[in-house]
């Protein structure tokens, strides 16, 4: 399988609803145009990146689009479509190289050999390094309808972050376009840092901005929580970071994402044309330079961790959404097994990071999950018991 880290391009390049089981906005707070940024929502006031004010029609239209059936997504080619992928033996004892500092460099001069400064970071545990804070990344063409993050709390898993086209709670959207007079930074040796994303993800914004749900072809975006990182430098809560950032989601967790990946019908002249993807990274990666100086590195082994959940690969069947995991232990992937790309009808992807050391990925039917406040332990147990493709790290 081609190395997805390298295929995403030169790192200095500026890279860029609730379902029928409930009311259209029953699972997230409805956001009115605020006078100032509302804590915990990531929704800014006008003049602070808020060029996309709340409209009730957005909510209704998003709900209708999420339920729209444009036809059947049928398997094609020689691969094997699956709805469940299990990754076993995820954790272990090892280490990766975390970034402790980055030298900005001087325009017109070569970057010094120590521009990207790192230190060894020992890790251990059944989920390591995926027990650390993660960020979720998206690349278009993609229509997103619901995002939710759950963490265990006794007899159920509680929703701790969410977004749909009605509003959001404890969730912030970023991209890799930092610098200028917006947010984040650009340096000679570090390139673009993370920045707040505009409503369509195509540009940087000055403040957290409500995502409109549509990612155009080749546009990338990632999410973190709305919890600020206290402290700066390597000793801060989030370690060394550049530009703007937030906390991710650590420990055991479940990500639920409802999306559609329509085909791009324009001229295919760029490497990333018509290759949508959903993938997860250690949050340390985006805090320094997603496509440069970071703790992930290239290829295998995968350092601080990457999980490609559903990724269409350049040069492969455009209806195959394949999966690959990378960590300090090595890498493994789904090969010719794949999740069917949801082109005509949305699908819900469930990713469970279980404390036992297992990652379970499911592709559910559009109305099979309601993105509610809680997920009972019995439901999670049933998800974990499903069988399909099995992969294992060394």
Q: Decide: 279 and 135 in contact? Cβ < 8 Å.
A: no
Cβ atoms of residues 296 and 3 within 8 Å: no
Closest by CA to 208, choosing from 168, 250, 166, 181, is 168
Residues 6 or more apart whose CB falls under 8 angstroms from that of 331 comprise: 299, 300, 301, 302, 324, 325, 393
If one counts the domains in the chain, the total is 1
Determine the pLDDT at residue 55: 58
pLDDT for position 30: 33
Residue-by-residue pLDDT tens, the chain, 394 positions: 333 333 333 333 333 333 333 333 444 433 333 333 333 333 333 233 334 445 566 676 766 777 677 777 877 777 899 999 999 999 999 999 999 999 999 999 999 999 999 999 999 999 999 999 999 999 999 999 999 999 999 999 999 999 999 999 999 999 999 999 999 999 999 999 999 999 999 999 999 999 999 999 999 999 999 999 999 999 999 999 999 999 999 999 999 999 999 999 999 889 999 999 999 999 999 999 999 999 998 778 889 999 999 999 998 999 999 999 999 999 999 999 999 999 999 999 999 999 999 999 999 998 899 999 999 999 999 999 999 999 999 8
Q: Which of 143, 175, 166, 206 is nearest to 366 (CA)?
A: 143
For residue 184, how far is the Cα from the chain centroid? Answer: 19
CA atoms within 13 A on the CB side of 333: 22
- Strands 337-340 and 80-81, by their bridges, are parallel
DSSP assignment of 315-337 equals: TS-TTEEEEEEEETTEEEE-TTE
Burial category of 26 from C-beta neighbours within 10 Å (exposed 0-12, middle 13-18, buried 19 and up): middle
Q: Comparing C-alpha atoms, which of 85, 105, 134 is closest to residue 296?
A: 134
Task: Give, as one character, the DSSP assignment of residue 6.
Answer: H
- Decide: 172 and 225 in contact? Cβ < 8 Å: yes
Cα–Cα distance for residue pair 227/118, rounded to 1 Å: 25
What's the domain range around 154? 4-392
User: With contact defined as beta carbons under 8 Å apart, do 186 and 192 qualify?
Assistant: yes
């Amino acid at each position: 399988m081609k190395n997805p880290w390298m295929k995403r391009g030169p790192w200095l390049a500026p890279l860029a609803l609730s379902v029928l089981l409930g009311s259209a906005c029953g699972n997230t707070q409805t956001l009115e145009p605020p006078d100032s940024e509302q804590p915990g929502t990531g929704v800014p006031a006008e003049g602070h990146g808020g060029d996309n004010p709340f409209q009730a029609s957005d909510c209704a239209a998003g709900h209708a689009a999420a339920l729209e059936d444009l036809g059947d997504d049928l398997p094609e080619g020689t691969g094997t479509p699956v709805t469940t992928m299990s990754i076993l033996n995820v954790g272990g004892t090892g280490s990766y190289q975390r970034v402790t500092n980055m030298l900005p460099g001087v325009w017109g001069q070569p970057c010094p050999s120590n521009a990207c400064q790192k230190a060894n970071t020992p890790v251990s545990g059944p989920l390591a390094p995926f027990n650390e804070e993660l960020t979720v990344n998206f690349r278009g063409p993609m229509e997103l309808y619901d995002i939710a993050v759950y963490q265990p709390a006794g007899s159920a898993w509680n929703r701790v972050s969410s977004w749909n086209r009605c509003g959001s709670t404890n969730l912030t959207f970023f991209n890799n376009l930092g610098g200028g007079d917006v947010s984040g930074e650009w340096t000679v040796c570090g390139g673009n840092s993370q920045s707040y994303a505009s409503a369509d993800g195509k540009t940087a914004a000055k403040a957290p901005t409500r995502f409109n749900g549509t990612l155009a072809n080749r546009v990338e975006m990632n999410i973190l929580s709305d919890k600020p990182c206290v402290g700066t430098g390597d000793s801060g809560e989030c370690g060394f970071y550049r530009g703007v950032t937030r906390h991710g989601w650590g420990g055991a967790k479940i990500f639920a994402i409802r999306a559609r990946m329509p085909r791009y019908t324009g001229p295919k002249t760029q490497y990333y044309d018509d290759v949508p993807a959903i993938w997860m990274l250690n949050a340390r990666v985006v805090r320094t330079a997603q496509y440069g100086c970071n703790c992930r590195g290239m290829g295998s082994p995968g350092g601080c961790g990457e999980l490609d959940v559903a990724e269409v690969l350049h040069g492969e069947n455009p209806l195959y959404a394949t999966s690959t995991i990378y960590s300090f232990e090595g890498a493994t992937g789904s090969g010719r097994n794949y999740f069917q790309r949801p082109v005509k009808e949305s699908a819900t992807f469930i990713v469970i990071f279980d404390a036992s050391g297992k990652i379970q990925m499911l592709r559910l039917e559009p109305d099979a999950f309601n993105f509610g406040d809680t997920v009972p332990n019995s439901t999670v147990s049933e998800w974990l018991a499903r069988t399909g493709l099995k992969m294992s790290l060394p």
